[in-house]
Chains A and B, each alone.
Chain A
Amino acid sequence: MTASGLAGPARLREGAEELAGGLPPLLAAAEQLAAAVRMGEHGRRRAGMGDEFWQYRPAHAGDSGRAIDWRRSARADVHFVREKEWQAAQSVALWVDGARSMSFSGRSGRPTKGERARIVALALAVLLIRAGERVGLSGAGLPPRGGRPQLDRLAARLAGDGDEGDYGAPEVASIPPHARAVFLSDFLGDPSAVEAALVSAADRGVKGVLLQVLDPDEVAFPFAGRTLFQSMGGGVVHETRKADDLRDRYQQRLLERQDRISALARRTGWLFGRHVTDGPAVGALLWLYQGLDAKRLQA
């Protein structure tokens, strides 16, 4: 056996352990986050859904014996079949920006934008799957499916390596028509890519929600002095002598960027929201969950 033969399985196992080790915390954190949302709206939502039981009807010929509800039948002379509500589940495609710009955090101890986006996305997936929806991951080749195993798959994909690029762009080709979509990104990359994606999605009847996740430093720009700014991948560089002089102009440009995406979203029937990582993740989750409400998206 060669040295590489030895190293191969070892590396694989190492990666698998890492993955397995990383999965439960991510999922657990997401479930915890999702539980926090359900606390307030538990009763109404479950009643309104009426997800399982529909009616009892007398059994016809041809009904299999397994379909007969024996508990109900025992109270009457005829046999009853327990009918369930027909549910046409909605497909939701998530896209979480995995570019290197998302791995930025202004302070140690504060989650990176990517971490926050993944948690929120997975928590949303938990909520949706519990509600019976089908959730997929666009850009990662994970088509929408329901059920608990899908959650594990989602978590595994989300915990995987990110992209190599400095900035990411949404991938809409794999989203089924008339599905719902959720894009989480900092939207600091080329806005035309986002524009193209949205237009393409709108063409296929896909509607959804955009959540811009930003670090507080990206909002406040608390820099001063002579500074050499580099993008996370080092591809983009800007040097200034007095960083504090640039603050106002930077914030102006950020606003312009947000206005542009916001306007685009309005035009295509999407919703655009912002989240700063020093705020609570629950807020972002709530907003996303309510944003996916069909009524608002129809408007």
Chain B
Amino acid sequence: MIGPVAFAAPWLLIGLAALPLLWLILRAVPPAPVRRRFPGVVLLLGLKDEDATAERTPWWLMMLRMLAVAALIVGFAGPVLNPERPVAGGGPLLIVVDGTWADARDWDARTARIADALAEAGRAGRPAAIVSLTDLPGTEVEFRAADAVLAGLPSIAPRPWEPDPAEVAAFAAALPAGRFDSLWLSDGLARDGREVLMDALRARGDLTVFQVSRPVLGLRSPRFEGDQIVLDVVRSTGSGAADVEVAALGPDPGGVERELARASAPLADGALGAELRFDLPPELRNRVTRFAVAGVRSAGAVALTDDGLKRPEIALIDGGGDREGLELLSPSHYLRQALSPTADIIGGTLSDVLLADPDTIIMADVARIAEQQDLLAWVEQGGVLVRFAGPRLAASDVGRAEEDPLLPVRLRAGGRSVGGSMTWGAPKTIAPFPEGSPFHGLPVPADVAVSAQVMAEPGPDLARRTIATLADGTPLVTAKEVGKGRVVLFHVTANAEWSGLPLSGLFVGMLERLAVATRPGAMDSAALAGTTWVPDRVLDAYGQLGDAGTLAGVSGEQLAGMTPSRQTPPGLYAGEDRRLALNALGPERTLDEAVWPAGVRVIGLERPAEIVLKGWFLAAALVALLADLIAALALAGRLRGAAAAAVVLAALALAGPHEAQAQDSAEDRLIEAAGNVVLAYVRTGDNRTDMISAAGLLGLSDVLFARTSVEPILPVGVDLESDDLSVLTFLYWPVTADQKAPSPQAYAKLNRYLRSGGMILFDTRDADVAGFGTATPAGRRLQTLAAPLDIPPLEPIPKDHVLTRSFYLLQDFPGRFAGQTIWVEAAPPDAELAEGMPFRNLNDGVTPVVIGGNDWASAWAIDEQGAWMFPVGRGVAGERQREVAYRFGVNLIMHVLTGNYKSDQVHVPALLERLGQ
């Protein structure tokens, strides 16, 4: 091995030593003479050559020949650039995996790397062991046969938490004695305890580290700033500017989880993080259950929200608008001031706000309630109704004769006024809150005085329902439970007219205690102390939220650090009255790239591909020999005029511009397509897939030609970036897992194509292993590929879709695989079955996309001889399946070309009936 080049047969290089000998031999032999017929030779007779020395081959020609021979020798020695390097050493091999959420993103590639290393160790007869740092065995590492370890590889999975430094240190200390080499697949993040293990491993033998240079992306827990939700996006390396798309996910009104909002955080070059702000309407905001970096499958890229993000919705209803202009006297002014920082306040009439189902309704001095039944029902469902007294309530007779269901107590007529100019006594202060009152513990400011209030009629329940009193014992705040909800009455006004209460901080405190204006803050360790939390939903390393199952509850102390661990995996934890989100990244967590000391060999996961140089060397030798041929001819005087031009042209023709011709022909075919019906497929860049697509569409074209009046010309492959789609009607798009996403310009073209009536048939070609969805790589790829397209809502194809009868009558749509349904544009919700008609009157127009995974192209594909390229099913059933696949293709093209024509056939009976009249 020389640098990055290795040789398959290095001993052949000895041949290079023979070069000087060859030089001498070549040098001694002069070039052969040209034999030439020439009548003037008689005039030459007797002429002597002036130069007596023998003619010799010039040195540069010799050099050329030497180079050619050297290139041949090197070429046949089989040079390989960036050869697969085995992990060095001969002893046992220990494979260490971080196994964190940061690994999840490319876990497949990592396992493939491990499998490679294990297979190699197996060939070399080295025992091996795998250790995942997030899942340490607890026992001493035991080296086993590499094959056995390889068999156990699938059980190693990434975890949503990170290694515990203490555990890692213990593991490092307990490493088996004796020499072994190690391969460490790092997740790319620096963390405590890494050095300890690294030193221990290096002490035992060679350490090779695989580390991906891609930055690790993470989301910290969301938090509120004003009305906006703020998210911190962090990454491990700052090189390069990037836009990080973050999606807010949550249930829609129908309860189906979907993307509610999306924002893009621009990460500047060099920046390790960016702040992302979501400004959402309260309705949406309360629905968000988690944020996720789009396209990254990793628990670190998911931030769960808990109750902390929910802002209560409070409806404020005040008695009347007759005091216009006196803002400070408005009954709701102080409430608004107290509530707006922590809650979303909605207004309007009572019937309107009831529809919005707020958490709390506050009524300031409202006596008569028209929608009493509705309101009562709402309270019984768990609503909190808070009422404030006031002149109107005092003047009315509500709750006088009997207890009003929407008032906690009966009221005495009139109320009382103390401390005024016409009354005895001083304004009353508030008594300290007794034990058992929700306000217990709130400090009572001395300067809060009550000068007027409504009085409660004494009754058996009054004492129980009183939760705050004045210093003289009269009730100030009363409350009663109604169903699941509660009705609270402040016996004073919500403005400063009757008391100084709204002016004091106590007012805010009391509202909070009533759980009216509370927003759960961050749980600090003090609040967590002594509590028990039960995992409700947990994240896996890939960022998927799953059921917690039978995970044991954890104590608040364990959660206090907000750092996930094996005992406390990230997820949602349910406590007594609230839920707590534990995210993979703590609130202050930064991501740092792991830097390895100079002595450790670091290899990227995406290693440079092996390049076999043999062909290049042989080609170079050929070129050198060609040049030698021309030079030798020129030197011998045989190369003149046309002959020279011919030789040079022939040499150049070897490297002709074939690509330009290919492009010309594609252009020509598109021009031809403009005047014909042509089936087109998207070139994926994968030669085999493209070949199958072309062959499949050719087969379908033949069937169309034979059976229908559609006479397509040869199918054409289109490059979404460069080709014009406007001339096409049908595009077959096979989705491969590693397909490159088109550029925004290409998407604009595709959307124009779809709007102008084109159709795309997406084929994930994986119906044999997967249903529809994101379960397979192709499915996930399809989701990302199709996201920027203007695609209407989809539904599994209904039984009466026009595709089922546009040419043939079909009920299933198999390709090479059968059984999976296909998805088409959803029927309009108002589609209904007309009287006497077999089908619904469905959507007007053509579904712009058909999505499925039945691998239709393979079923349709024929080769040049017209023979089927791939088997479908078995026996007669397989033939039938292929026939139905063709019929589906015919129906599809008919649907594209004729639209809802067959849908209109629904009216044929009616038309015939009219014609008969």
Taking beta carbons and an 8 Å cutoff, which residues of A are in contact with B? 101-102, 104, 113, 166-167, 186, 188-189, 215, 217-218, 221-232, 236-243, 245-246, 249-250, 253-254, 257
Once the chains bind, are B43 and A230 in contact (CB under 8 Å)?
no
**Are B35 and A228 interface neighbours, CB within 8 A?**
yes
Q: Which residues of B contact A231 (CB under 8 A)?
A: 37-39, 41-42
**Which one of B37, B41, B50 has the highest number of Cβ atoms from chain A below 10 Å of its Cβ?**
B41
Q: Determine how close the nearest CB of chain B comes to the CB of A34; give it in whole angstroms.
A: 28
With A236-B45, A242-B55 in contact, do A226 and B40 touch (Cβ < 8 Å)? no
CB–CB B33/A188 < 8 A: no
Write the nearest CB–CB distance from A119 to chain B, whole angstroms.
19
Asked whether A223 and B37 contact (CB < 8 A) given A242-B55, A245-B50, the answer is no
The minimal Cβ–Cβ distance linking B641 to chain A, given in whole angstroms, is 8
Instruction: Give the distance to chain B from A273, nearest Cβ to Cβ, in Å.
Output: 19
Contact of B43 among A104, A166, A240, A257 (CB under 8 A): A257
Please give the distance in Å from B120's CB to the nearest CB on chain A: 59
Q: Which residues of A contact B30 (CB under 8 A)?
A: 226
**Does B54 make an interface contact (CB < 8 A)?**
yes
CB distance from B31 to the nearest CB of A (A): 6
Selected A-B contacts with CB under 8 Å, 13 pairs: A188-B40, A217-B38, A218-B38, A227-B34, A227-B36, A227-B637, A228-B36, A229-B40, A230-B35, A236-B45, A240-B49, A245-B49, A253-B44
| B43 with A226: CB separation less than 8 A | no
CB-CB < 8 A to A257: which residues of B? 43
B47 within 8 Å of A (CB atoms): yes
Among candidates B37, B43, B49, residue contacting A232 with C-beta atoms closer than 8 Å: B37
B54: chain A residues within 8 A (beta carbon) = 241
Knowing A243-B637, A245-B50, A245-B51 are in contact, say whether A223-B36 is a contact too (CB < 8 A): yes
A207 vs B32: C-alpha distance when bound (angstroms): 49
**CB neighbours of A217 from chain B (8 A):** 38
Q: In the complex, what residues of A have CB within 8 A of residue B55's CB?
A: 225-226, 241-242
Q: Closest CB of chain B to A226's CB: distance in Å? A: 4
* Known contacts A224-B637, A226-B636, A245-B50; A240 and B41 CB within 8 A of each other: no
CB–CB B43/A188 < 8 A: yes
The answer to whether B637 touches A218 (Cβ under 8 A) is: no
- How far, in whole Å, are A232 and B42 apart by their CA atoms in the complex? 11
A104 to B41 CA separation, bound complex (whole angstroms):
12
Min CB gap B628→A, angstroms: 16
CB–CB B33/A226 < 8 A? yes
Chain B contacts of A238 at CB under 8 A?
41, 44-45, 47
A226 engages B31 (CB within 8 Å): yes
Number of residue pairs spanning A and B whose beta carbons lie under 8 angstroms apart: 104
Q: Does B635 contact A (CB under 8 A)?
A: yes
**Residue of B with least CB distance to A251:** B43
Pick the contact of B38: A189, A229, A253 (CB < 8 A): A229
Q: Which of A189, A215, A226, A241 contacts B42, CB < 8 Å? A: A189
| Complex A-B, nearest 8 residue pairs according to Cβ-Cβ distance, in ascending order | A225-B637, A101-B39, A224-B637, A226-B33, A229-B41, A253-B43, A238-B44, A229-B38
Q: A225-B635, A228-B34, A229-B44 are in contact. Are A242 and B51 (CB under 8 A)?
A: yes
Give A189 to B40 CA distance when docked, in angstroms: 9
Say whether, besides A225-B635, A226-B34, A237 and B41 are in contact (CB < 8 Å): yes
Docked complex Cα distance between A91 and B40 (Å): 33
* Chain B residues with CB under 8 A of A166: 39
- Count residues of B near A (Cβ-Cβ below 8 Å): 27
Docked pose: A113 CA to B38 CA in angstroms = 12
- CB within 8 Å of A: which B190-244 residues: none
Most buried by A among B32, B43, B636: B43
Distance (Å) between the CB of A162 and the closest chain B CB? 13
Interface string of B622-661 (1 = CB under 8 A from A): 0000000000000111101000000000000000000000
Contact A236 B41 (CB under 8 A): yes
Say yes or no: B39 contacts A104, CB within 8 Å: yes
Query: When the two chains form their complex, are residues B42 and A167 in contact, meaning their CB atoms are under 8 A apart?
Result: yes
In Å, the complex CA distance between A188 and B32 comes to 28
**Given A226-B30, A231-B41, A237-B41, also A242-B49 (CB < 8 A):** yes
Min CB gap B52→A, angstroms: 9
Q: Indicate the member of A230, A241, A249 with the most B CB atoms within 10 Å.
A: A241
Question: Chain B interface secondary structure, helix, strand, loop or mixed?
Answer: loop
Q: How far is the CA of A299 from the CA of B274 in the complex (A)?
A: 112
In the complex, chain B residues whose CB is within 8 Å of the CB of A229: 36-38, 40-41, 44
What A residues does B42 contact at CB under 8 A?
167, 188-189, 231, 236
Complex Cα–Cα for A199 and B253 (A) = 128
Pick the contact of B636 from A113, A222, A225, A230 — CB < 8 Å?
Answer: A225
Q: Which of B32, B38, B635, B636 interacts with A104 by CB under 8 Å? A: B38
> Which chain B residues (12-44) contact chain A, with CB distance < 8 Å?
30-44
Does A241 contact B41, Cβ atoms closer than 8 Å?
Answer: no
Whether the Cβ atoms of A250 and B34 lie closer than 8 Å is no
Q: Looking across the interface, which residue of chain A has its beta carbon closest to that of B35? A: A228
The residue on B at minimum CB distance from A226 is B33
User: Which residue of chain A has the shortest Cβ distance to B40 in the bound complex?
Assistant: A218
Tell me the bound Cα distance from A296 to B716 in angstroms. 82
- Please name all residues of chain A whose beta carbon is closer than 8 Å to the beta carbon of B38 when the two chains form the complex: 104, 217-218, 223, 229-231
Q: Are B39's CB and A254's CB within 8 A?
A: no
User: Within 8 Å CB of B33, what residues of A?
Assistant: 226-228, 239
Taking CB atoms, residues of chain B closer than 8 Å to A226 are 30-34, 55, 636
* A229-B41 Cα distance, complex, nearest whole Å: 6
Q: Please name all residues of chain A whose beta carbon is closer than 8 Å to the beta carbon of B31 when the two chains form the complex.
A: 225-226
* A186-B42 Cα distance, complex, nearest whole Å: 12
Contact status B47-A249, CB under 8 Å: yes
**Shortest CB–CB separation between residue B56 and chain A, in angstroms?**
10
In the bound complex, residues from chain B placing their C-beta under 8 Å from that of A243 are: 637
Q: B343-362: contact bitstring with A at CB < 8 Å (1 yes, 0 no)?
A: 00000000000000000000
What residues of B have a CB within 8 angstroms of the CB of A101 in the complex?
Answer: 39
| Extra pairs beyond A104-B39, A226-B31, A231-B42 (12, CB < 8 Å) | A102-B39, A188-B43, A218-B40, A227-B36, A229-B36, A230-B37, A231-B39, A236-B42, A242-B49, A250-B40, A250-B47, A254-B40
Separation of A257 and B42 alpha carbons in the complex (Å): 11
Looking at the assembled complex, report how far the CB atom of B201 sits from the nearest CB atom of chain A, in whole angstroms: 70
Contact B637 A232 (CB under 8 A): no
Q: In the bound complex, how far is the Cα of B36 from the Cα of A215, in angstroms?
A: 15
**Distance of A24 from chain B, by nearest CB (Å):** 29
A186 to B33, CA, bound (A): 27
Residues in B neighbouring A241, C-beta threshold 8 A: 49, 51, 54-55
Which residues of the partner chain B approach A245 to less than 8 Å between Cβ atoms? 49-51
Contacts of B44 in A (CB 8 A): 229, 238, 240, 246, 250, 253
Q: Chain B residues with Cβ under 8 A from A232's Cβ?
A: 37, 39
Complex alpha-carbon distance, A223 and B47, angstroms: 15
Shortest CB distance B20–A (Å): 26
Closest beta carbon of chain A to B263's beta carbon, Å: 78
Query: Within the complex, which residue of A102, A104, A242 is in contact with B37, where a contact is CB–CB below 8 Å?
Result: A104
The docked-state distance in angstroms from the alpha carbon of A64 to that of B527 is 161
Residues of B within 8 A of A189 (CB): 42
Contact A223 B637 (CB under 8 A): yes
**In the complex, what distance in Å separates the CA atom of A225 from the CA atom of B35?**
11
Residue of A227, A237, A240 touching B47 (CB-CB under 8 A): A240
What CA separation (Å) do A228 and B49 show in the bound complex?
13
Q: With A and B bound together, what is the CA distance between A17 and B496 in angstroms?
A: 137
CB-defined contacts of A242 to chain B, threshold 8 Å? 49-51, 55
**With the chains together, A181 CA to B62 CA distance in Å?**
59
- Nearest CB of B to A185, in Å: 11
Docked complex Cα distance between A257 and B45 (Å): 14
Nearest neighbor of B635 in chain A, beta-carbon distance: A225
> In the bound complex, how far is the Cα of B49 from the Cα of A250, in angstroms?
12
**A225 to B41 alpha-carbon distance, docked (Å):** 16
Residue of B nearest to A106 (CB): B38
Closest to A253 in B: B43
Within B79-109, which residues are at the interface with A (CB < 8 Å)? none
Give the nearest-CB partner of A102 in chain B.
B39
Contacts of A186 in B (CB 8 A): 39
Q: B36: which A residues are within 8 A, CB to CB?
A: 223, 227-230
